[in-house]
Every structure is written in structure tokens, then in C-alpha cells.
Structure 1
Amino acid sequence: MMLLQAPHYAQQSMIDPAGTKAGAIDGFWHFLITTSTIVTAIVFIVLFIALARRRRAADPESPAEQRSLTNWVTASVGVTLVIIVVFLFMDFRLGRAIAIPPQRTPLRVNVIGHQWWWEFQYPDSAVPGNWITTANELHIPVGRPVILRMSSQDVIHSFWVPNLSGKKDLIPGHNTETWIEADSAGIYRGQCAEFCGLQHAKMALMVIAEPERQFEQWVLGARGAALAPTDSTSKAGQQVFLTGGCSVCHAIGGTNAGGTVGPNLTHFGSRLTIAAASLPNTKGNLGGWIVDPQRIKPGALMPPNALEPDQLNALLAYLEGLK
């Protein structure tokens, strides 16, 4: 089966900020680059001038030339110290500015890192104590801060969505916290930024920023159970899922599948990607992932599945209908 690459429409760039926090980081980064470029240019210009006017080693320097050289060195050291102090001050000010989210009603989401996928838990406002669980795609409302409470189930991971925020580590046995905010609707690609094992490079995620009303509609849909299959093929696929071992690791709301080892698949058919944003969610890619996940992500916990063609097609129909 043909395996397509990850969606090209998702943005991932630290120099194209789409949020308040990322904009502040980008501004400081450009200031550092500009200042460093100017200083480097001045150093090379002075160096070339010195080389062009160098004396022969045997020519003695006059006292006036020695004083002039000393003054130049002193001035250079002084300017360097001033630049370093300015950098430190701006870095400190930026750190304080982005540490605290804006004082508006935030959305709170739990982020749990796994090798090698992301779990997101939203508090269900309709049912206190209940959580809306999804995987690898983080839906957020535009113009509203989102506080992320993060932890890891295995090793150290690092949450990074360059268009929206800087990096923040997820540490086993310890909760960390950060926040993001999107100024405009769009799909922003994120990445684990801390080496976490063989498939670290394929531990990605999608942040889907959408208008508040559209986000509320998504929450309403995500709160409900998966759609029950209606046609015979999808019903057969459900039985393959429930009896073939898939339910041991995966959960699907509205069924007796309650596994927690792998991602929750309740509304899997609505997701853009599979395998932690490694591939677009297409029938061909999904079939290849189910049959031989080790080909795509060597070392992943999901084992190969030897299914008959009719079983695989039925299972694909069922999973694609989970919307």
C-alpha cells in the first residue's frame, strides 16, 4: 500500500508566529540575530583594516599608538559587556512576560506524553469529573489562552509548537505547565523536542486552532460516543476490533473497548493524521499501519496484525466511520 507523507498544509516555523507568546519569542530572536550580525560585521571590518595597515614586526610602536590600541581594546570590552547586559535584561523580561498567561478565561488541557504519541484530556463541563480524551490532535479556540498541564508516562518528552510557543519538558512523576494561544485559525504542527527513543522524530502532533463557536461544536461532538456502525461491513469491522485484540490497547467510547496502552480511537475517523502525525489519515496509510506498524515506526508498541483481506477491509470501514 502506498504510504503518503504527513499533511503539507500544517505550519511548523518559529519565524512565522501565530500567537502572542510565539510573537514575543520571535521578536527577541530577531533582535539577537540582528545585533549579532552587526557586531560580527564590525569585527570583520576592523580586522581587515588592521590587516591592511599592519606594520612589519621590526617597526616599533610609538607611545601614542600604544595608548590608542589600549583605548580601542578597552572600548571594545566595554561595548561587549553592555551588549551582554542588554541581552540578559531582555531575556529576563521576556521570560517573565511569557511565564504567565493573559488574564482571560483559559481553557485547561492535560497533556500526557507516551513513546511515541500524545494524549490530550479536556475537562467535560457538562459532566464534572469526566474527561474528553483524544490523541495527537489538540483542538483550541482562537484568541483564548490554553493552559497545558503536562506529564509523561515513560521518559522525558518536550512539547513544542514553534508557531505558538517555545519548548516545555514533560517529566515522569512530575507535572509541568505552560500555555499557548493562537491569534488566527489554522493547523500548526508540533514536535517532541527532547530525544525520547528510536522514534523521537515521528512523535509529532497537530494543533487545530478554530473560532470559538467551531471549537464548541467540536467539544460537543467529542463528548459523545462513537457513531454505531450501520452497514454490514462496518459492523463486521467492529467485531474484528473488539475480538481481534485491538480493544486490549485502545478505547472507543460507547463500546466495551477500554484499553489505555494506545491512543483513544473514539472519533478516529475525524482525525487528519495517524501514527502521531506521521501519515495522513487515508485508507491506504491506515491499512499499512495496521498490518505492519513496525515498518512505519520501528519499536512502536503496536504489534503486526495478520488479518485476512476481508477482515482488514471491514476494520478499515469501521475505523473510518468513527466520526
Structure 2
Amino acid sequence: MGLAACNTEQSALHPAGSDAVDLANLFWFMTIGGALVWCILMGAAIYAVVGKKRPRSERFADRFVFVGGVVFPTTGLAALLILGLALLPDWAEGDVPDLRVHVVAEQFWWRLDYEDADGMAIASANEVHLPVGATVEFVLTSTDVIHSFWIPTLGGKMDAIPGRSNVLRLRPEKAGVYRGVCAEFCGSSHALMAFPVVVHEPDDFAAWLAAQGQPATAAGAEAFLAAGCGACHVVRGISDAGSVGPDLTHFAGRRTIGAGTLPLTAANLADWLVAPAHIKPGVRMPSFATLPDDERQAIVDFLLELK
């Protein structure tokens, strides 16, 4: 379990984006530099203890203090400052990103809106899809408390703050499936506020985005609507009034339930409908344990058709 952070899906040391490469290089520079400083200090301490006891001149002591206490730390800190400044984003005024994604963080899930080529918003939730080689601008905010949006394999993190919009730009360089997380403690289910990140080839992403813009085509929505699910969830073309919970229009095309909490399977979805607060403490979704089994199964079947 101690090596869970080394998983390449969520490891900043296995970069898949240009920003993450820079951060990984800075990490290795600081790690190697820290090891060298430690070796120098340990060497000086050992020499002071076991070295020859002959007296040193005052001039030697002055030089030692000047080099070790002034020159060495000043040079090291200056090098770190230069490297750190070089990592600051260089966004030229008027520089337009290839893709803009609006992210609204809520306890404990993510509301997403992708801007298409015409500037129209395409709603989704809890799963980020990106094209390889594109500069992606995330516009981040929150509806309740401070959250933090972080995809370790692609770059640094950025806070999502109520009443404020922060901007984070990332450039994925490798196709694959990664993992994003909330990196700011936000409540009882903070650790369960994750999201899969799927990086596509450009043509595949364009096809995915076009499909996301279409309304749902699944049949059998009667049980979903009768249970009142449409009061909280949008399923475009079937239920357009809900805005409290995640958009479910293409729910079955996602990989997880509850913002990365469980893999999306029929059994997990049935368990989620029975006891969402037990699976994810603090979630605002009510339990549907009192529904007859056949009605609850009908809702599961309907949701699994929403591709």
C-alpha cells in the first residue's frame, strides 16, 4: 500500500504532459541537490569529529564561514529561483487555447462543460477527456468550499475557489488513461473525489466530443422519471430540468460511479442506489432502498444504456 502513489496513472514521476515533465525535472534536481548538500554536511561533521586536531587559523575559519554560510547557500537558492521562475506559465496575451473546459467543483464531484468550436457548452461530469498535443485551458471555480484540481501526470494543481475563477493550462503529450484528484481537503469524502482522465488521439477526441453533444437515445426511462431522478439529474432529450447532481446524458460511457469511487458495473450501480451515503459519506444523493427491486433494477438498466 505504501507504493500506491507510484502507480503511473497518478504519478508525477511518470509525466505524460509538458508541464509535468518540467515539474519532474525540478523534483529530480532538488532531490539530487539535497543529497549532495547532505553528503557535504555529513562529511564536514565527520571531519570535525575524527579529523586531525591541529589548530586552524582565524583566516581559515573566516573563509570557511564565508564559503559555507554565504556563497554556498546563496548560489544554491539562486539556482532554485531561476529554475522556479522558468517554470512559470508563459501565456502571451491573446493566446487562445486549443480547448477550454469549465470545471465547477462541488462536494464531492466535478461538473464539466467543454466548449466546442462554436463556443457552445457540452455538459459532462466526473470524467475528463482531452486530445493529445492540445493546449487545454481549465477554468476552475467551486460552489461550496475550496477544492483543488490536480492531474499529477499532466502538470501542477490549481485551487477551485467559491466566487472566483482560476485558470490552469495543461498540454497532454501521451495518450492513455490517468487519474485526477482533489488535492485540497474539502470534507468527509475528500479522498473519494477523484476523476479518470482519458487522453485521446485528436480524431478520437473530436468523435467523442461530437457524441457528447448529442441527446440520450436510451429507452426505458419510465422508472428513472417515476423515482424523481430527473429532478436532480439532466439526461438530455429525456429530462432537462435537473441541475443539482451530475449530468447523466452519457453516463454509461464513463468508467466510474461517484467521481472515481467505484468502477461502473451493474452490481456497483445497484449498491450505489441502495446506500450512496454509506459508500461515499457526505454525498447529497438520497437512498432508493425503499424502491421495489424491479423498479430499482429498471433504473440500473436504463442508466447502463446511456452511452
TM-score > 0.5 by shorter chain: yes
**SS in structure 1 of the partner of residue 199 of structure 2:** strand
The alignment status of 1:290 with 2:273, answered yes or no, reads yes
Q: In the alignment, what sits opposite 2:226?
A: 243
Q: In the alignment, what sits opposite 1:145?
A: 135
Letter in 2 for 1:297: K
**SS in structure 1 of the partner of residue 74 of structure 2:** helix
The alignment status of 1:319 with 2:303, answered yes or no, reads yes
CA deviations on 1:127-153 (whole Å, 9 max, x unpaired) are x56421000111111111111111111
CA deviations on 1:49-101 (whole Å, 9 max, x unpaired) are 1111375xxxxx75x4333223212110111111011111211121245x669
Letter in 1 for 2:166: T
Letter in 1 for 2:77: I
Contact 1:116/1:203, CA 8 A, preserved across alignment: yes
Query: Aligned partners of 2:174 and 2:93: how far apart in 1?
Result: 17
**So what's the TM-score if we normalise by structure 1?**
0.88
Query: Aligned partners of 2:85 and 2:109: how far apart in 1?
Result: 33
Q: In the alignment, what sits opposite 1:173?
A: 163
Query: Aligned partners of 1:277 and 1:303: how far apart in 2?
Result: 19
> Over the residues paired in the alignment, what is the CA RMSD in angstroms?
2.1
**SS in structure 2 of the partner of residue 95 of structure 1:** coil
Query: Aligned partners of 1:184 and 1:104: how far apart in 2?
Result: 22
Contact 2:97/2:136, CA 8 A, preserved across alignment: no
Query: Aligned partners of 1:287 and 1:276: how far apart in 2?
Result: 16
Q: In the alignment, what sits opposite 1:162?
A: 152
Contact 2:233/2:239, CA 8 A, preserved across alignment: no
Letter in 2 for 1:175: S
Question: Rg bigger for which structure?
Answer: 1
The alignment status of 1:41 with 2:63, answered yes or no, reads no
The alignment status of 1:83 with 2:76, answered yes or no, reads yes
**SS in structure 2 of the partner of residue 39 of structure 1:** helix
The alignment status of 1:271 with 2:254, answered yes or no, reads yes
Query: Aligned partners of 2:296 and 2:12: how far apart in 1?
Result: 40
How many correspondences in the alignment?
Answer: 300
Q: In the alignment, what sits opposite 1:4?
A: none
Gaps of 5+ in 1: 1-8, 56-60, 230-234
**So what's the TM-score if we normalise by structure 2?**
0.92
Equivalent residue for 2:61, pick from 56, 59, 69: 69
Query: Aligned partners of 1:301 and 1:228: how far apart in 2?
Result: 26
Equivalent residue for 1:280, pick from 249, 253, 263: 263
Q: In the alignment, what sits opposite 1:22?
A: 20
Contact 1:20/1:164, CA 8 A, preserved across alignment: yes
**SS in structure 2 of the partner of residue 196 of structure 1:** coil
Query: Aligned partners of 2:82 and 2:214: how far apart in 1?
Result: 49
Letter in 1 for 2:167: E
Letter in 1 for 2:144: D
CA deviations on 1:147-176 (whole Å, 9 max, x unpaired) are 111111111111000000101011111111
Displacement of 1:26 in angstroms is: 1.0
Equivalent residue for 1:207, pick from 183, 190, 197: 197
Query: Aligned partners of 1:188 and 1:36: how far apart in 2?
Result: 30
Query: Aligned partners of 1:268 and 1:318: how far apart in 2?
Result: 10
Q: Percent identity?
A: 36
Q: In the alignment, what sits opposite 1:118?
A: 110
CA deviations on 1:257-293 (whole Å, 9 max, x unpaired) are 4211110000001101111011110011111111100
Contact 2:195/2:260, CA 8 A, preserved across alignment: yes
Equivalent residue for 1:11, pick from 9, 12, 28: 9
Gaps of 5+ in 2: 1-6
1 or 2 for the larger relative contact order (CA 8 Å, sep ≥6)? 1
Contact 1:101/1:179, CA 8 A, preserved across alignment: no
Query: Aligned partners of 1:222 and 1:268: how far apart in 2?
Result: 10
